[in-house]
Structures are given as C-alpha cells and as structure tokens.
Amino acid sequence: MTLEEYQKEAQKTALYPEAYRLVYPALGLAGEAGELANKVKKVLRDHGGRLSEEAREAILAELGDVLWYVAQVATDLGESLEAVAQANLAKLRSRKERGRLGGDGDDR
C-alpha cells in the first residue's frame, strides 16, 4: 500500500465535525503519540527494557493510530502524505549535508 492509498482509505473513516478540521486530528495525534510513549515507558519500567511480542504489537497498534491522525492532519491541510514525507526527507538531507542533524531548533 502506498502512502496515497493509505491516506485515501483513512479519510473514509474520519468522523469529526467540519468545524474542528485540523484541530480535532492534531489533538488526537498528540493523544495517540502520548499513548505510544506510555507503552514504551512501561517496557522500560516494568520489563527492564525487554520488548515482549505483546508489547511490540501494542506499540505497533498505537503507531497505526498515530499514522491515521498524521494522515488526517495532512488531508485537512490539503496536502498528501507523500509530499509531507518528501519535504521531511529533503529537510533532513539538507541538515546532514550541513552537519546539522544534531542540535536544537527547526532552523539548523
């Protein structure tokens, strides 16, 4: 499945008020990212950092939820996931070429 195919299929399951376009999926993204981080935290806290198959599957499920919300944010901004991915890689390549992968800030 391509990113474009995923984005189109994911959009079919989007159910939130038009008045909350962008806001609703952005908040959902933050929530799902927090759930993913919490599952990773519990692997460290409860299992000494050993990733069980059950924890791995739970983390992957949360990652899928993160992807869904990323797709909705992109859709609500009128952009394709592929364009977002390409722009991100271009930014990272530029940072790498300039020796700026480490550090802080968007403008490195």
Q: Is 90 exceeded by the pLDDT of residue 92?
A: yes
DSSP 8-state symbol, 79: -
Mean pLDDT in residue range 87-106: 92
Domain 3-82 has CATH 1.10.287: yes
Q: How far apart are CA 86 and CA 105, in angstroms?
A: 20
* Residue 52 CB coordination number (10 Å): 11
Mean pLDDT in residue range 69-83: 98
pTM across the whole model: 0.91
Q: Tell me the HSE value of 80 on the side-chain side, using a 13 A CA sphere.
A: 9
Give the pLDDT band (50/70/90) at residue 105.
confident
Pick 103 or 9 by higher pLDDT: 9
